[in-house]
Amino acid sequence: AGGGRLLDKICKWYYNAAGFNKYGLMRDDTLHEDDDVKEALKRLPEHLYNERVFRIKRALDLSLKHQILPKDQWVKYEEDHHYLEPYLKEVIRERQEREAWNKK
């Protein structure tokens, strides 16, 4: 149990050290947009996609102004949900299935 708490503390520290949360971004907002991610983004429900676009535009605006959000508006480690992950896993599974099929 003690090791789990230590790991959780390290994860939280790393999350905050990365800095993207200070711009209001979530982890999935920072993924490199390869073909799999682009396809997963197409499958997002409209409201999730619009929320992502808003966060990215706000982060770009803040970055250009050399500002960050007030601390009470930072995305907290506990609040960051991997909204793109289920769609991305499905896209990767389908691609791997297609690749395996094409090898036959």
Instruction: Summarize pLDDT for 16-68 with one digit per residue, the tens.
Output: 999 999 999 999 999 999 999 999 999 999 999 999 999 999 999 999 999 99
CATH of the domain at 83: 1.10.1090.10
Q: Which residues contact 27 (CB under 8 A, 6 or more apart)?
A: 15, 20, 80, 82
How many domains is the chain partitioned into structurally?
Answer: 1
pLDDT of 4: 79
Domain with 34, as residue range(s), is 2-103
Whether 104 has a pLDDT exceeding 90, the answer reads: no
